[in-house]
A = this chain, B = another copy of it.
Amino acid sequence: MPADRYAVGIDLGGSKLRGGLLSEAGQLAGRIETQTEAWKGPAGVLANLKRVVSQLLDSTDRSRVTGIGIAAAGMIHPKTHAVVYAPNLEWREVPLRDEIESAFGLPTYVENDVRAAAWGEYRFGAGRGVQSLVAVFVGTGVGSGAVMDGLLLRGFNNAAGEIGHTQVVMDGLLCPCGQRGCVEAYASGSGFVRRLHSALAAGTATSLAEETGRDASRLTAALVARAAAAGDPFAGELWQDAERYLGMALANYVTLLNPELLVLGGGVMTTVPALAESLARQVRARTTVMSRDVRVARAGLGDSAGIFGAADRVWAQG
């Protein structure tokens, strides 16, 4: 029996740099997690990234490694796989694929991190065996990826899946993207922080003022959920808005794509597990009859989803 082939998977985020070796059979080995050190700039981050790849390659028989897949938190050029723009890394026009390909002589693929995580869940996580899924991750922002009949939806500019910037309120809250009424303005870690910041400036009475020492940036989704449950009216409004607008956006996504499975993941979903159940109820209540039987599941791979998905793109594309 021939030995397994392997692919290197890297998840390059704004704060963490994670990597692992994925076997074709779907086993992840040699997982590494370190700091991205984005403050070092592209050259410093690339040095860190290359160190992680080298460690992974040194840990196995290199002739069995087929390629390198990188999930990067940013906008990826659909053809060159350069990082066009990555706000969390403060990168613009970094030729990530070329850098890694020439350093290691292995075919390299770069995928947006959220789409890579969706692909990881589809192949190895909550979505194993399904035909189609939509995976939505709620954390500081709200992102998603969709797979239909085995096709990862990328879009014309490699920009599909931006559910966080679909609009749920006509002329609603201003979002940093410049639009009004985006889901992310109501239902994300950053949205909560901005709303508390405004409320504190306006003198709104809320227990969240004390909980955060009047520093809105210290607000977390868990704090909002707890204060809402304890009866704080402002926190209650924040939490109710997050649940219902996210529910509406998810329902619309499901109505448009009619997936077999809706996967819910991300930091907010992890720290407030009750949110997933509430959203599942809302999706069922707000979708068309033919899409209502969508199965809703929590993400299964945690913060390894990007590694799985990035590594697997080596074979899925190759």
Q: List 15 A-B contacts (CB under 8 A).
A: A132-B155, A132-B156, A144-B256, A148-B155, A148-B160, A149-B154, A154-B258, A157-B293, A162-B255, A162-B288, A165-B255, A166-B255, A167-B286, A170-B248, A252-B252
Let me know if A251 is at the binding interface, CB within 8 A: yes
- List residues of A (51-93) whose CB comes within 8 Å of B's CBs: 75
Q: Which residues of B contact A161 (CB under 8 A)?
A: 256, 258
Closest to A133 in B: B156
Q: Is the CB of B259 within 8 A of A177?
A: no
List A193-248 residues whose CB lies under 8 Å from chain B: 244-245, 248
**Interface hits, A275-310 → B, CB 8 Å:** 286-291, 293-294
Known: A167-B248, A170-B248. 19 other contacts (CB 8 A): A132-B156, A144-B256, A148-B153, A148-B154, A148-B160, A151-B151, A154-B258, A155-B257, A155-B259, A156-B260, A157-B290, A160-B256, A162-B258, A162-B291, A163-B255, A166-B251, A166-B252, A170-B245, A252-B252
Residue among A166, A256, A286, A294 having the largest count of chain B Cβ atoms under 10 Å: A256
Q: Is the CB of A259 within 8 A of B291?
A: no
Closest 6 CB pairs of A and B: A155-B258, A159-B290, A166-B252, A156-B260, A160-B258, A159-B258
A272 interfacial contact with B, CB 8 Å: no
Say whether A290 contacts B75, CB under 8 Å.
Answer: yes
Residues of B within 8 A of A251 (CB): 166-167
Separation of A293 and B158 alpha carbons in the complex (Å): 13
Q: Tell me the residues in window 22-64 of chain A with beta carbons closer than 8 Å to chain B beta carbons.
A: none
In the assembled complex, which residues on chain B have CB atoms less than 8 Å from the CB atom of A248?
167, 170
Residues of A within 8 A of B (CB): 75, 131-132, 144, 146, 148-149, 151, 153-163, 165-170, 177, 179, 244-245, 248, 251-253, 255-260, 286-291, 293-294
| Distance to closest chain B CB from A190 (angstroms) | 16
Q: Is the CB of B288 within 8 A of A256?
A: no
Question: Are A166 and B259 in contact, with the CB atoms below 8 A?
Answer: no
Q: How far is the CB of A294 from chain B (nearest CB, A)?
A: 8
**How close is A246's CB to chain B, nearest CB, in angstroms?**
12
Cβ A259 vs Cβ B170 within 8 A: no
Q: Are A177 and B258 in contact (CB under 8 A)?
A: no
Least CB separation from A150: chain B residue: B151
Bound state CA distance, A75 and B291, in angstroms?
12
Inter-chain contacts of A146 with B (CB < 8 A) = 256
Complex CA gap A69/B252 in Å reads: 30
In the assembly, what is the distance between CA of A116 and CA of B122, in Å? Answer: 28
> Chain B contacts of A75 at CB under 8 A?
290
Minimum C-beta distance from A313 to chain B (A): 15
